[in-house]
Structure 1
Amino acid sequence: MLTKQQQEELRGWFAGRLPDGLFEELTEVSADREEITVIGRIPEPRPAEDASPAEREAAVRRRIEEFRERTRQDRMAVAREAEHRFGRKVSWGVRCGPHRALFTHLAAPVMTRLRQSERQVLDTLVAAGVARSRSDALAWCVRLVKRHTDDWLTELRDSLEHVQQVRERGPDAQDED
């Protein structure tokens, strides 16, 4: 997990490196051990005032597709540089009005050991058609927990950042004379 300072430095690097005008605004830069995700705002299309919801949705989808194709070379150049510098893959996404779309992003395998009662939860989700496999069921569970515990997870991440800062000030961090 990145400290707040590392996160700010990463965001600053992208803000300084992205070509002018690529995004209206850089809205999110997040990272974990494997991946950096960069998301920016792009302008909403302006369909006719009497456009149906389906027309508006189609216009947004097309705007996102057009942006993705038009900016591919610029984004790839930035990604290559960032991947070399930070040792992580770079994924891209956009916000267009209320919509958020990710272009390419990693799905990293995570191994875990589960007891029978925990496996039964996953198997129930598979049997009910909520998920296609135990792996999908576990991902579904993680998304559900995240959605319902965002405040708690934010507090936990802040606490971990504080622990990292305290470690950095510890006796092993001091230079001996």
Structure 2
Amino acid sequence: MTSEQLEKLRGWFAGRLPEDVCEHHLDVTVDREEITVRRAHPRAAAAGGAAAAETRAAARGRIQEFRERTRDARVAVAREAEGRFGEKVSRGVACGGDRAPFTHVAAPVMTRLRQPEPQVLDTLVAGGVARSRSDALAWCVRLVQQHSDTWLTDRRDSLEHVQHVRAQGPDRTGPGGEPT
């Protein structure tokens, strides 16, 4: 999907959702399985000098209140969007540091692993990190996702360095100007 198509999609949702549902920033993402519409909700106010646990509980309460109050409107727009765009629409909200998906697609992924890769998953299961190999693999993907910005930046820097070195090398042409 191009950035212009994503902007149009974001605009459609912003224009279609009732104001009390999207009075704050909408985050719209698209992948192969679904369109995800996440609304940013203002941080819940706890008493001044409140403990972190109290602040998190206030944010969770605000998320739950928003979910219940706006359910009918969000579901109606999601159904309309699914018919219009031919994709499943998932919904959620972000409040402060908390992200709460209300609905989501759990897409099955087939993979082939060679030894000792399944042993890593089995170790995570045995250690209580995950309930199953599937959960362990999802845990690994989330870990990579958390670090992806750093890792991808490092990878891009490496590729740029390789391209710079190649550009400084000799041409790859043989006698008569033919590629070698």
Equivalent residue, structure 1, for 2:135: 136
Structure 2 counterpart of 1:172: none
Residue type of the alignment partner of 2:34: E
**1:53 positional shift:** 3.1
Report the CA distance between 1:71 and its aligned residue: 0.2
2:35 is the counterpart of 1:40: no
Matching of residue 8 in structure 1 with residue 18 in structure 2: no
Distance 1:145 1:97, change over 3 A: closer
Q: 1:155 to 1:7 in 2, by over 3 A?
A: farther
Find the aligned partners of 2:151 and 2:5 in 1 and give their Cα distance. Answer: 22
- Single out whichever of 70-79 and 12-21 deviates more from structure 2: 12-21
Tell me if structure 1 keeps the 8 A contact 2:14–2:26.
no
Asked if 2 retains the 8 angstrom alpha-carbon contact of 1:44 and 1:60, the reply is yes
The amino acid of 1:110's aligned partner reads V
By how many angstroms is 1:43 displaced? 2.9
Between the aligned partners of 1:92 and 1:43, the Cα distance in structure 2 is 17
- CA drift at 1:82: 0.6
Distance (Å, rounded) in 2 between the aligned partners of 1:93 and 1:155:
31
Point out which structure has higher relative CO (alpha carbons under 8 A, 6+ apart): 1
Structure 2: segments with no counterpart, 5+ residues: 156-180
Q: Deviation of residue 3 (structure 1)?
A: 2.9
Give the fraction of aligned pairs with identical amino acids, expressed as a percent. Answer: 66
Deviation at 1:151, TM superposition (A): 5.3
After superposition, the C-alpha distances for 1:46-84 in whole angstroms (9 at most, x for unaligned) are 332243333322222111111100000100110001111
Q: TM-score, normalised by structure 1?
A: 0.77
Q: Match of 1:149, SS?
A: helix
- 2:177 is matched with none
The aligned counterpart of 1:125 is 124
For 1:118 and 1:27, the matched residues in 2 are separated by 39
Q: Return the offset for 1:99.
A: 2.2
CA distance, structure 2, for counterparts of residue 44 and residue 59 of structure 1? 9
Q: Does 1:31 align with 2:30?
A: yes
**CA offset digits 1:116-164 (Å, max 9, x no partner):** 22212211211222211111111111111122222565899xxxxxxxx
Maintained 8 Å contact 2:27/2:40: no
Residue 107 of structure 1 aligns to a residue in which SS? Answer: coil
Matched position secondary structure for 2:62: helix
Kept in 2, the 8 Å contact 1:37–1:90? The answer is: yes
Q: Based on CA coordinates, which of the two structures has the bigger radius of gyration?
A: 2
Q: Provide the secondary structure at the position in 1 that maps to 2:47.
A: coil
User: Structure 1 residues 14, 130: closer, same or farther in 2, change over 3 A?
Assistant: same
1:62-109 per-residue CA deviation (whole Å, 9 max, x = no partner) reads 111111000001001100011111122211111222322211212111
Paired residues in the alignment total 155
1:90 aligns with: 89
* Distance across 1 between alignment mates of 2:88 and 2:24: 22
CA RMSD in angstroms comes to 2.2
Describe the SS at the equivalent of 1:90: strand
Q: Which amino acid aligns with 2:48?
A: E
Which amino acid in structure 1 is aligned with residue 65 of structure 2? E
